[in-house]
Structure 1
Amino acid sequence: MKFGGGGYVTGLVYHPTTANLLYARTDIGGAYRWHPATSSWTPITDGLGFGAAESRHHGIESIAVDPNDDQLVYMATGMYTFEGNGRLYISGNRGDSWTHVPLPFPLGGNNAGRAMGERLVVDPNKPSTLFIGSRTAGLWKSTDSGQTWAQLTSLSSARMNADQISAARGGMGVSVVVYDTGTKGSGSATQTIYAAISPDYVSVAGLQSNLYRSTNGGTSWAPVTTPVSGSHIPHMVRAADGMFYVAFTKDAGPGAGGPGRLYKFDGSSWTLLKSVDPTQWTNPGLGGLSVYGSGATTRIALGVSNTWGNYTGQQIVQLSNDAGLTWREIAAAMPGEIAPGWVDDVEIDPSNPDHILHVHGGGVVETKNASSATPSWAGSNEGIEEIAVQSVVTPPAGAPYLLVNSAGDVGAWVHTDVTQTPTLNPGTGWSNGNAADLAWSDPNYIVGSGVLNSTKTAVGYWSGDGGKTWARLASLPAGASENTGSQASIAVTARNHAVWAPANSVPSYTTNNGASWTPTNLPALAVVGSGWGRGYRLVADRKNPNKVYAYDSGGATWSRTPGKVYVSTDGGRSFALSAGSVSANLAPDAWWTTSMAVNPHAEGDLWLADGNALYHSVDAGASWTKLTQFAAADGVSGASLVALGKAKAGASYSAAVYVVGTVNGVWGVYRSDDGGARWTRFNDDAHQFGGIGVMAADHSVYGRIYVSGTGRGLLYSN
């Protein structure tokens, strides 16, 4: 569904000679390729699958293209360094399909410093040679197009240990690799190469500088004396005349703080071109850097990062047309969409120097008239969908909206059209939307919960007119202020009546639209691990709103606490343990790998996915039937999500049932039209989205589900 951007695009990579061939990498949402015919971005990593071995590769650390072959593109992937070693993905058709090989070190596409780079480069003269700067284990080289890798111990053999990696926020390591060549396709490997080293690895490896140079293709390395020490080099670029432009900034980013310095470097001497110093109220640094042309007329675009606000005198993107002698601001206080803050990558279009783009926390913006005295800017996010959806709820047929989408960073939104960016929201700004629900007999009444990110303040909100207007709940239930995690749930039984389960808390109920809350009798949840959230999942019976169901998944696989279901028959005031759920021996599992849903057309008709298997109850949880078609395989969940939607015409069961799980060893989305007797796979291998964390089904359109991929926003089927 259309939102547009919604997440951090960490880098833009142009092919140097093929016009309009541009790739975007993101921190949690995979990679995209620009499609000039439709002026939109095409996702190129939706085929990445689910599970611990797959979904984390939607964190893209670096992208590299082959200057000699515009079909060939490489991606270095891995979301966090603590998750294990990364991968190198290789495509010979611009990302339409991929193969991959393991890398012998971890990567961190969503760690701090994720916009620095590029770390991965292809030798323009001998493209079978690749280099990659790792975060924790120095510099690596491949001479067989990325199939095998060797650490360049001539620079350093040091590997950061776990404590060093943690202290360095995931490790920054070797942040940039740059070739010193203006030729390509010669067949002889480029001999002069630069590697920028972050302060953490300089210290661990006992290096002498934050910049090293090899003049023999990487066989040996020598330190380069730099004018700034103890800082990061987020970007280093080579102009056509061989001059290097190098940015130094104190912090790693995102929103890399300063002080920042831009120098030009001719291989022996440094010339200061631009300084950005901290001020009393902010800490600006340098982020993105791009050059076009050569000599005295070199155009330089420079991102000033960690500056917030849009006003005359602000610095966001600085432009020089004389190799850095003079500068002017081309973004702040200019017409259009201005996006300060995380300006950590800037690119000048190599085929059109008036076309300049930069990244930010919500996607990409661009100007196509950079030479104008007042360049105009607009978002370039068509096709990029990176919001992190945390919960979705769909109303009954005939409601004035399609769904309520609660998401990280952008808050809660009410969607009325799959093709249009939503406009209805509770006005919480930069916030996390954690949970929402609606009154089935009165879907204009919506209640939601979240947290204001700037202050970490919990908030509840409600609408009585389908999301057109909103108000804050007068009070919060016990536990909500202290526990603002996404493991939260809300069940609405009628207008003004709701049950709210904050993360790690005993649920409470209100009968007066949040003016007051009363705790339920549900048992407190034991802590299963430091920082490991858990919570009750709540659903209201849509045929009999006096019935409310609460599911405790046990919190974690290692908790040894089987899952349990509790049932209320008084609108969520008090609950009784379902003995049938105890007899079912539900597996202990984490919040985010479990799910519970009700059939809105039959009282007491419940479906539950406990991470290992799928269960069905037709007697309000008194007894449960295990559906044996779903079973975990190769470490992938047997059943993690279940949703019910509009039934197929003439079907024997009153709802279509959709399950995310594994059947006969194949993970995917499965649908049943006969109450679970038979299942067919609903998605395919090209539509896996790095896993699915949230799912809801439409009650007006048969065959339509809404799913969240790994950082891929909210997707829908037809």
Structure 2
Amino acid sequence: MSIRFFHIPLRKTIRFSMLALATTVALATVEPSRSIASGYQWNQVSIGGGGYVTNIYLHPLEKNLAYIRTDIGGFYRWNSLEKRWIPLIDHFGSDKSNYYGGEGLALDPNNPNVVYIAAGKYTGAGLGTIFKSTNKGQTWNKLNIDLPMGGNETKRWTGERLGVNPFNTNIIFFGSRLDGLWKSVNAGQTWNKVSSFSGKPNAYIGITGILFSKKNAGLVYANAYGDGIYKSTDTGITWSRIAGSPSKANRMVLNNNGVLYVTHTSGVSKYANGAWSNITPTNIKTTSFNGLSIDANNSNHVLVTYDQYHESTNYSRVFQSTDGGATWQQKSHSLNPQVPWWPNWYFASAASAIEFDPNIAGKVWLTDWYGTWQADNINANKPMWSNYEKGHEETVAFELISPPKGSLLLSGMADVEGFNHGQKLNTYPSTQLGGSNGPWYQETYSIAYSEKDPLRMVRVGGHRGFNTFTGGTSTDGGHTWKNFSSFPKNTMPLRVAMSANNPNLFVAIASEKQPIRTTNGGATWSGVSGLPNGPKGPWYWGQPLASDKVNGNIFYYYNGGKVYRSKDGAAYFSVVNSTLPSEDWSMLKTVPGVSNEVWISLNSNGLYRSTNGGTKFAKIAGVEKAYLFAFGKPQTGSKIPALYLYGKIIGMGKGIFRSLDRGQTWTNISNPLNPIGNVPNVMEASKQQFGLVFIGTDGKGIYYGKPN
């Protein structure tokens, strides 16, 4: 099998106007669960990790007490008996979606029950904050500190910004990206900026590391990224820059003898007796290192990992020294993957952290771009690493489809291509969407099928890192794919719609370019007349394009308050309605089995229906906000498709709703313990099973709800 590789970029998926961001949260909440609510049960589709775990934390006093933070998927605690990650903030609703970015986490080293998290995805999306839990993350108290935080911004894989003083756990430091160093002396109740800290870190990176000495009271280090490492011997009252310290340090660790080890963009260094020494491994592929850990039982036993190195070969990215860095061994490895679709080169790709388990000799944990690994015996000649991802679902969904025959669900994903989920939603997929030997894309942006023959499909996507895009067709319901014979260069396709009765005819909108169409299954392409250029991609989740579900020559498009229609197979579109509100966050969908029926959701402007091909629209009464919607299989004895809505109904509030009478009445099918608040991107409903509905998110994978 050929090796698949792509550059790992920053996932910038921010949307300011879609979901209001809040700076307050309930002081106590119930731990998230998969409980039954409103006659519906909600679970996550099993995919298995897929997102960046940016640090791991192991408590020194309690065996198997571990936490992880992620860049866009929130925070988790390890359940060692079930080998499952327990999500800790899934009860945060969409108004708190910014809090799903993990900027920092800190444990009280003297109390296993106390944990702090610094939460905020983007510095430009409102203020982040710090929460405190006294019961291992079951409930949270918001602390009185609100600062811009960027859990999904540059250098998020370094750390740690948040630290608790082991000699006096009332003292906490937080290193921010934009606003300097902050300190609390009363366990987080109040905070003050440390005016004596003179470090000048790089903008939008800030102070990436706080490190307290466990041996000398008062000794604390702070990493001002781009400037150097600062030291205080009076618990942060005064600070001085350590001469000769690496300016771009990634991680810092102290051994039991007080020697400071540092990984940085130019190698590995240590600081002892007032002097720095270079201990970078030799004969290596890169000199930039990140992950760093020292064995609590052996001060000379050190592990480091490469920084953001992800070449698609199965070589070792972990280095071990047993003599304090004088010599290094590049550790080979064997893998015991628990997620079958993960290729071997995922291991330690863009590794963020590596940590000795303080309570289990020889055990080591590692986190990377896709998940978390454990090795039970790092001292073995070829340690065995296992990835346990149950509970950790962190993919970003671009597209979901649920055809009337074949698989229950297919997904298009950012970074991990997407999946054919078959009929089993609680089983990991065996391969990514392209299969073992088929065409593979970094991302799949859109998938469509022909209503008359649903096993005939088309998808579009490509490799964002290389700026190469294409698509492919399938004749077996998305199990195997064949690439288009041709595709226009430098064209990023965002959405695709296939004719209801001619699977060789489909049209695609492209990022900031003219839409294109093909009449021969992608062999040749031509421009579409009458439509504006497409929106900017790839971080675009609108669904403005759809084909009529009966008439194979009719296609629809929405843009800027105008509805366009084509009656000649998408060769030419004309405006048929210009009375709707203009809304960037819009969804246009047609109704299965019905010709000329078009629905459009316009976020806070509501939900609209047309029964005459878009010429006239009626607003659905009572729908105050239509963020996402979908049509599914009718209930037994009815021909009216089930209608699902993620939004707000007058008199019922926000939530997830179902209507069986075209929006005249609604039933709330939400789970209040898990409102699916981490920026839902796409909604789809099953055409095979009544009541089954799917919601894809911006960092929490895919949820599905079904009646009990």
Q: 1:283 to 1:597 in 2, by over 3 A?
A: same
Shift of 1:703: 2.2
| Matches of 2:332 and 2:621, distance apart in 1 | 59
Residue of structure 2 in register with 1:545 after alignment: 552
2:141 pairs with 99, 102, 110, which one? 99
Structure 1 residue 318 corresponds to structure 2 residue 308: no
CA contact (8 A) 1:63 1:74 kept: yes
Give runs of aligned pairs for residues 78-477 of structure 1, distance below 5 A.
78-101=120-143, 103-156=145-198, 165=203, 171-182=204-215, 190-199=217-226, 202=227, 210-226=228-244, 228-230=245-247, 232-239=248-255, 241-250=256-265, 259-263=266-270, 265-266=271-272, 268-275=274-281, 283-294=286-297, 298-309=300-311, 314-331=315-332, 337=344, 339-396=347-404, 399-416=405-422, 417-422=424-429, 423=431, 425-426=433-434, 427-429=438-440, 431-476=442-487
Cα contact 1:137–1:157 (8 A) shared by 2: no
- Secondary structure at 1:87's aligned position in 2? strand
- Of 686, 689, 703, the match for 1:698: 686
**Matched residues in 1 for 2:563 and 2:88: separation?**
40
Task: Report the AA paired with residue 174 of structure 1.
Answer: I
Query: What CA deviation, in whole Å up to 9, does each residue of 1:482-536 have, x standing for no partner?
Result: 3427x43333433212121122333232221111223232332388x99997987
| Contact 1:692-1:707 within 8 A present in 2 as well | yes
Partner SS for 1:366: strand
Which SS does the other structure have where 1:717 is aligned?
strand
- What per-residue deviation string (whole Å, max 9, x for no partner) do you get for residues 55-104 of structure 1? 22211111111223322221111112233331112223322333324634
The residue that corresponds to 1:12 in the other structure is 56
Q: Which runs of 5+ in 1 are unaligned?
A: 166-170, 184-189, 203-209, 251-258, 555-562, 632-637
Q: 1:649 to 1:318 in 2, by over 3 A?
A: same
Find the aligned partners of 1:28 and 1:155 in 2 and give their Cα distance: 30
- SS where residue 55 of structure 1 aligns? helix
Superimposed CA distance per residue, residues 306-333 of structure 1 (whole angstroms, 9 cap, x where no aligned partner): 4445779x54111233433443222457
Q: Is the contact made by 2:531 and 2:564 (CA closer than 8 Å) also made in structure 1?
A: no
* Distance in 2, Cα, partners of 1:320 & 1:155: 34
1:689 and 1:331, CA in 2 relative to 1: closer, same or farther beyond 3 A?
A: farther
Which position in structure 2 is the counterpart of 1:207? none
CA deviation vs aligned residue, 1:451-485 (integer Å, no higher than 9, x gap) = 213421011111112223211111226xxx43427
Once the two structures are TM-superposed, the CA of residue 429 in structure 1 deviates from its matched residue by: 4.0
- Structure 1 distance, partners of 2:541, 2:374, is 41
CA 1:235–1:157 in 2, change beyond 3 Å: closer, same or farther? closer
Q: For the aligned residues, what is the CA RMSD?
A: 2.7
Query: Alpha-carbon deviation of 1:11?
Result: 0.8
Q: CA deviation at 1:628?
A: 3.3
- Tell me, yes or no, if the aligned pair for 2:630 and 2:685 is still in contact at 8 Å: yes
**In 2, Cα distance between the equivalents of 1:438 and 1:530?**
22
Do 2:333 and 2:384's aligned partners in 1 also have CA atoms closer than 8 Å? no
Task: Provide the C-alpha distance between the structure 2 equivalents of 1:565 and 1:152, rounded to a whole number of angstroms.
Answer: 56
Shift of 1:147: 3.2
Q: 1:14 to 1:229 in 2, by over 3 A?
A: closer
How far apart are the structure 2 equivalents of 1:32 and 1:695? 25
User: 2:393, 2:633 → 1: CA distance?
Assistant: 26
Paired with 1:126 and 1:674, the residues of 2 have a C-alpha distance of: 62
Distance 2:705 2:509 in 1: 30
**Could you tell me which of 655, 659, 683 is aligned with 2:645?**
659
Match of 2:532 among 501, 524, 532: 524
Aligned counterpart, 2:566: 568
Residue 715 to residue 16, structure 1, CA distance change in 2 (3 Å): same
Deviations for 1:594-630, whole angstroms, at most 9, x for unmatched residues? 2122221332232211122111222322221112322
**Offset of residue 248 of structure 1:** 3.4
Contact 1:85 1:102 survives alignment (8 Å): no
Contact 2:398 2:412 in 1 (8 A): yes
* Same amino acid, percent of matched pairs: 28
2:505 aligned partner: 497
Matched residues in 2 for 1:261 and 1:220: separation? Answer: 27
**Partners of 1:602 and 1:89 in 2: CA distance:** 50
CA contact (8 A) 1:298 1:323 kept: yes
Shift of the alpha carbon at 1:712? 0.8
Q: Quick one: higher RCO (CA 8 Å, sep 6+), 1 or 2?
A: 2
Is the Cα contact below 8 Å between 2:499 and 2:548 reproduced in 1? no
Change (3 A) 1:271 1:194: same
With over 3 angstroms needed to count, the CA separation of the structure-2 counterparts of 1:710 and 1:307, relative to structure 1, is: closer
- Name the counterpart of 1:634: none
* Residue aligned with 2:643, SS: strand
- TM-aligned CA distance change 1:604 to 1:335, over 3 Å: closer
Is the alpha carbon distance of 1:513 and 1:371 closer, same or farther for their aligned partners in structure 2, counting shifts above 3 Å?
A: same
Structure 1 residues 400-422: Cα deviation after superposition (integer angstroms, max 9, x where no partner): 21222111111132220212222
- Tell me what 1:621 maps to: 614
Distance 1:213 1:435, change over 3 A: same
In 2: Cα distance, 1:330 partner to 1:245 partner: 23
1:599 aligns with 2:586: no
1:267/1:624 CA distance change after superposition, 3 Å:
farther
**Corresponding position of 1:36:** 80
- Give the corresponding residue for 1:558: none
1:543 Cα deviation from its structure 2 partner? 2.9
Matched, 1:639 2:626: yes
Runs of 4+ in 1 over 6 A off after TM superposition: 333-336, 529-536
Q: Distance in 1 between matches of 2:174 and 2:282?
A: 29
CA contact 1:662–1:668 (8 Å) conserved in 2: yes
Scaled by the length of structure 1, what TM-score is found?
Answer: 0.84
Distance change (3 Å), C-alpha of 1:425 and 1:681: same
| Matched residue, 1:560 | none
The 2-side partners of 1:541 and 1:267 are apart by 75
Find the residue that maps to 1:716 and give its secondary structure: strand
**Which amino acid in structure 2 is aligned with residue 413 of structure 1?**
F
Q: 1:153: how far off?
A: 0.6
**Distance of aligned partners of 1:56 and 1:217 in 2 relative to their CA distance in 1, 3 Å threshold:** same
CA contact (8 A) 1:41 1:384 kept: yes
- Change in 2 beyond 3 A, CA 1:510/1:456: same
With normalisation by structure 2, the TM-score equals 0.85
- The unaligned stretches of length 5 or more in structure 2 are 1-44, 338-343
CA distance in 1, matches of 2:523, 2:471: 11
- Matched residue type, 2:618: T
CA gap of 1:655–1:532, structure 2 versus 1, over 3 A, is closer
422-431 or 466-475: bigger deviation: 422-431
Residue 573 of structure 2 corresponds to residue 611 of structure 1: no
Match of 1:577 in 2: 575
Measure, in 2, the Cα distance between the counterparts of 1:374 and 1:80: 40
Following superposition, the deviation at residue 335 of structure 1 comes to 7.6
3-state DSSP of counterpart to 1:57: helix
1:500 maps to amino acid? A
